[in-house]
A and B are shown apart, each in its own frame.
Chain A
């Protein structure tokens, strides 16, 4: 079957660094994406990794290890506005984008 596993909740302090992990098992693999969703809002695209390694976009970085079927989203210099749900997603061999169940990040002052 196809599955993506990520922690359900993470709590961190403002200014800190937090890592949200994602492991996946899918039929076919065309890269790992991350989306952010604030309460009541639409999911928005954050990053995409097709190859192994770290991709950096401002305070956010995303990492992929295809041999380990594993990736993570790294958020640095946390701000209160980063409190949201974060979803990893993988495109399978049928070009369907499969999402994880989401990690709720709570940033505390």
Chain B
């Protein structure tokens, strides 16, 4: 089974802090994604990556950056956390770009910014 592991289940940070959310997948998948999930808004794509050192903006990239130095690891960075970034963050991976290739999600990181 594919395993997508997010380093923290819960995280509390202060406004202005730099925050790193880490995600590791163990199935040699090419593609990795970061979504945030908010009530009533579903899952919104922040950034995605099709290969090492490649990144593409999703629908809501403002205030975020990403890093993919190794194939198995995709990090989401909040340069200066703000209260409106309080959310559930979900990492996912897939073996290819086709939609028939389903996304495998991690269990999420619930981030609270105070």
Contacts and interface: CB of A to CB of B under 8 A. Distances in A.
Interface string B93-114: 0000111101111111000000
Contacts of B102: 33, 45, 48
Interface of B: 4, 33, 35, 40-45, 48, 56, 58-59, 90, 97-100, 102-108
A44 B105 contact: yes
Contacts of B43: 43, 87, 99
B88 to A, nearest CB: 10
A66 to B, nearest CB: 13
A102 B103 contact: no
Interface size class of A (residues with CB under 8 A): 20 to 34
B45 A98 contact: yes
Contacts of A12: none
Interface string A53-75: 00000000000000000000000
